[in-house]
Amino acid sequence: MSGQAQAGDYLYKYQITWRFDGDVPRVEELLPSINEPGRRFHPHWMIIRGLGRGTRDLAAPRGLDPVERLIWKHSLPYCGLPLVLRMLTAWNRIPDQAVVLRAHPSKAIAAAIDRMIGYRAGDRGHYSEVADLYHIDEDLIRTADKTLARRLKLSATQPW
């Protein structure tokens, strides 16, 4: 499925791959649309400081859970809509979110997802930077990161 999302003056074309989990459709992957003549996909295209300009006043979509709202609030102005959509997709790939939420604060989960997905998109992935962005202790992010890493199994071929 393809589409486009507008944030301020910026238009982002995307392509979504999804699957059914029982009766529930789940997003598998979100990529920039590359079905344009001459356009090449570069895996690090999203990490450009200031890419979030024009998104500061973008209202959060309805129905976001606490982790998704935190990602939207803290990460959108910093890295822009495409990377935030990757982060939200990664969080929604986790089948036992309730278990993760009981084990870690929502802010630590959101910050850990930000760090993990940002790192695989070309960001340095420093815990200290994400801790500053989310105003949370770095150790809480590291602990949540370990829990999420086991579930997401991120790699070069599965970056979110």
pLDDT digits (tens, 9 = 90+) for 107-121: 999 999 999 998 887
Q: Which two tokens stand for residue 142?
A: 């590291």
As for how many domains the chain has, the answer is 1
Per-residue pLDDT tens digits for 17-31: 666 777 877 776 666
Q: Is residue 39 within 8 Å of 76, Cβ to Cβ?
A: no
Q: Which residues are registered as beta bridge partners of 43?
A: none
The parent domain of residue 94 ranges over: 44-152
Please tell me whether the overall predicted TM-score, pTM, comes out greater than 0.75 for this model: no
Residue 160 maps to a domain: no
Which pLDDT tens digit goes with each residue over 149-160? 999 988 767 777
pLDDT (tens digit per residue) in 14-64: 767 666 777 877 776 666 665 554 444 444 444 444 445 555 567 778 889
Residues 107/68, Cβ–Cβ less than 8 Å: no
What are the residue ranges of helices labelled H in 50-137? Answer: 66-79, 81-92, 97-103, 106-120, 127-134
Cα separation, 67 vs 43, in Å, equals: 25
> Residue 79 domain-assigned?
yes
